[in-house]
Each structure stands twice: as structure tokens, then as C-alpha cells.
A and B are shown apart, each in its own frame.
Chain A
């Protein structure tokens, strides 16, 4: 077990409202977990909480996040700083804004290495060039001399992946690594990320709103809804026999499966809380008992948080 998040709870500092209401999932070494959910479900917040980057907008109020047995949530800031970027790599959403606009690309790569260990400049430059060319960036030496704003979106994203991998982490968290990219570019970047994670046997978390990314690139999936993980399991099992109604809907309405004209609404705003199952207002199965908090059904690799879940049944 590389990362074991148990019942992570986070609240917003401004009004004390709960933002994460018990998030649990596991990442196994060498496997890729897809953390999927809608806008505002708490996916990015989960990543920030694990990396200790919540402040000042939110704070952790409960749970554990065991990384190789150590609880990240109770670690001192100094220890966490040593982990970040070294043993846990991070690929962030908005590629372009991620790079420091006033530092050359090569210097940023070298700086990323220098954070965690003493470096020899020439050797670091050579390593930066090597990793850039292994990311499929043509003319890496030329690119290293350029400013971030001179790069194409695809190259930017490749550099961001390179930055995350350069210190050879054990775990890599990628938060919507292809948001806003063109579809052919998206494929290039995801292929690259997938390949590198496999090759280096790194445990990966890919955060996304697109179940297609999960279907095509992930081994396991955790589905989030309203600050909770409502279903987790191996991709093949979850896609074959989704246990939570939200997961079922998500799969059924993927664009290549969607049959229009059914007259059913899938989306809609979240309820004003009030206990019970948060998916209740949107659920076509909702019954009286859904007003109470749903149990975690199933154990081991495939589990769902629903009163009606049947794990393993066809």
C-alpha cells in the first residue's frame, strides 16, 4: 500500500462548512487510480489536503492519509516540505500558469532538482535535457533556454510532467492534467503520463471529470460526489458492475453511450445538505431510508456507499 487515505475530513475556514465529508481511497504501488467526480466534488481539495497545501482557505478536521505508513496529515511542515516534489510528485491543472513566468524553462527544471539535494550545475543541466527529450520534447536544449510563454500548450504540459518526475517520486498526483487541451494533444499527454508511470513503477492518482480518462488509462477508480468517495474498485469491475447509482449514471451518459430523448434529468444543483445520502435528490432509486447516512457496502477491492449497493452481483 503506497497511499491509504482514511475518512479525510476538511472544512472551509471562512464559514466552517464541511468541504470533504470523509474521503477514503487507496493507491497501490505501480497502479494508477482515477479520482473522478464533478466540478466541486472535492477532488482537488483532496489532493491539496494530502500535500498539506490547504491553507488558508480550508483546514483538515479529521482522518488519516498514510503514505508508506506515515500519516501525512500529522506530519510537521518541514517533513512534509521534504516529501513534496521529492517522493510525491504533483502535476497541476492549469499548465501554463503552473510554470514560473519569470524563470527560463531549463532553470526551473534545475531548480526543482536543487530543492531536494545538492546538485552540480552541469550535471543537473544534462539531466534536465535528458528528461525533456524523454518527454518527447524536440530540441530540448533550445527549449530549455526559452521562457514558459514561448512554449506551445503541449510542450508546457510535457515540461510540467517532467518537473513532477524529475526527482523520481514514488507517488504522482495529476490534477486534471489535460484540462483545456485539444483532444489530440490530450491523448499525447495522457499516453506519456501513462507510459512513464508504468515504466518507473510509480503509483499514480489522476484527478479528472472525464470517466473516459479512467476507462482508458487507470487501473482503479474512486468516484467522488459531494465531498465523499461513493464507490471505489478496479476499473474493470466497476465498469462491468457499477454498484452506486451515480457511477451507473456517469457510465451510462458518457457521450458515446448517451441515448438522447429519454426525458430524464441527470444533473442539477446539490441539495442544501441535511444529512442522509447526498446523491438522494438526483437518484432515481431514492427511498425513505436514504435520509439516513448510507453504509459502506462491500469490502476488499470493490466498495460503494449506498443503501442499495450489491457488490459482485451481475
Chain B
């Protein structure tokens, strides 16, 4: 299967001068055509940096970014620009990235103007066809961002990203502000696009937000991947303590799960709070002394799973649920 987007030992730092902090540390990740990669983490975990890295919207400090097999780590922005019709992004904040003066139609049409030689009639037809697929009504196409609800606005954002039929689509927390029904529709759309062969990376602060479509899930904590594997495997048997906590924090429809939780101490940290050793150790219910000194590296577990936890190899990383 063709690998479309790939990160090789990518590290990213953000912030000016002295206050520069590591947002991502040595990330290895890839997404193939017709596959959906879900990246899960709480705020400050580095989801947005990771999403931007795939598209070279941030320049990595270290490592390599590949798109369709070619290294674009050092490609100048002028040359990248031409690739931007084939690798696109849906940003986290649906409301502020759009030009408030343009109509939904003009916004969706803009990438076509930039990247294709289509005439205005062709573009119009293309947008109309896409709008039907997105279930945007004709009247809504003539409205401006300020006149559309957030659910509909997010469809405009997605439309803008897929109108050029990209090979790689990256979505940063696309369902965060949406109602359940609108989120389900968006996930359905992504499933359709996957069938069409698109490679998709989507982030979420909750495993449940990506699980309906993700083939694989990567869990991010303080800029590092703590667990990565096939969705079904992770849902059935999460190995990293943090993954287990995230799963137990999800509020499922299942009434029998009431009150059965892994309760973490404190709050999700920011990169400034990083302590030596395992980044999760300060909040981990089963941390040992060695976790606070030695940082675990992602270890291959079985054939298809990576977990960064010292206790995994001994098989003692599972936490019993408490009431």
C-alpha cells in the first residue's frame, strides 16, 4: 500500500527565543492511501503541531517530512505551494480561518482558482457538485461565514480542503464544536473519502472522537507518542496507562460502565512542565521510581503495536477500574 504522508523522527519546537519549548519529540508516523490515522491527545499534547507537520506548515527542528515518498523537509515555500492542492488541512477553529467577506461559494472555490485552470462555469459546477455531496444547500452557498452556524461552517472548511481532491487530508479536531449529528455526518463523509483512496489524518481530544473512522490510533502525551496501534486492538486492550485512562474517561452510551473509572491526578501538563523520566509518570496511577528517572522509548509490542511504557514489557501496565 502506498504511503502518502510520513514523519520520520520529527521534532518541533515552538515559541520565541528563550521560551522555546519542545512541542513534538522524535515522532515516527505514516498514513497510507485509503487509510485514516487518528491522533488523540489532550490540549498541549502537540496535536496541532503534529497535524501541521504532515503538511510542512511548521518546519521541523529535526527529522524528515515526506509526502508521496519525496522529502519535503527543506522544500522552499514557493515550491510547496504547488503541492498544497494535493495536501490540505482543516483547521481547529472553524470560525476564524475564513475570510468573513467572502460567501461560502467563493471560499470553496478559492483553491480551484489558485490551482486549476478551470473557467468560472466549470468552477461553479464543481462547487455545486461538491456542495450536494456535503449536503450544503444552494442558499447556504451564498451566505457569508457570519451568517452560518458552526456546524455548517465546518462543512465549508472541509469543502475548501477537498475541492481539489487531495491525496492527503489533515483535520485538526474537526468535530470538537459540532453537535453529535453533524459530527456523525462529517465522520461518514470521511469514511466515504477514505473509500475513494484519500489518506486522512484526524486529531481529537477523545478516542471516541476518532474511533468510528480511524484505522489506526496514535495517543499523544506531551509531544510524544505513548501508544500506537490498530483501532480495534487499542479499544479492546489498551496497554499504556494513559490510553486506558482516556478510554475510561469517555462517557459512553453504555449504562453498565457507570462509575467505573481510572482517575488521574492533576491536569494535563503543558510542555513547560515536562519532568525528566516518563512524561506521564507524575499523573500515572501505577508509576514506579524507575519511571521518574528513565524515559521509556516506544517499544514494539506484538506485531503491530508500539507502546512507550516501562511496565508494558513485563505485562504489568494494566490498571484495574475503580468505582
Contact = CB atoms under 8 A, between A and B. Distances in A.
A261 B188 CA distance: 6
A53 interface: no
Specify which of A183, A250, A260 lies most central, judged by the most chain B CB atoms within 10 Å of its CB: A183
Interface stretch (A88-96, A165-173, A184-192): A184-192
Interface stretch (A69-77, A141-149, A207-215, A298-306): A207-215
Interface in B223-279: 245-246, 248-255, 257-259, 261, 263-264, 267-268
B212 interface: yes
A263 B209 CA distance: 19
Contact of A257 (B253, B258, B263): B253
Interface in A254-278: 254-269
A263 B208 CA distance: 20
Which bracket fits the contact residues of A?
35 or more
Contact of A187 (B140, B191, B249): B249
Interface string A215-237: 11100000000000000000110
A39 interface: yes
B184 A269 contact: no
B181 A250 contact: yes
B253 A184 contact: no
Given A40-B149, A265-B135, A256 B250 contact: yes
B53 to A, nearest CB: 22
Contacts of B211: 255-256
Residue in A184, A191, A259, A266 with the greatest tally of chain B CB atoms within 10 Å: A184
Contacts of A254: 180, 208, 252-253
Given A216-B252, A269-B137, A209 B179 contact: yes
B250 A266 contact: no
B180 A183 contact: no
Contacts of B190: 260
Given A39-B150, A254-B252, 13 more contacts: A182-B42, A182-B267, A184-B42, A187-B248, A212-B251, A235-B255, A236-B255, A250-B180, A256-B208, A256-B254, A260-B212, A263-B188, A267-B182
Interface of A: 38-40, 152-154, 182-188, 190-191, 209-213, 215-217, 235-236, 239, 249-251, 253-269, 282
Interface of B: 42-43, 135, 137, 140, 149-152, 179-185, 187-188, 190-192, 195, 205-206, 208-209, 211-213, 245-246, 248-255, 257-259, 261, 263-264, 267-268
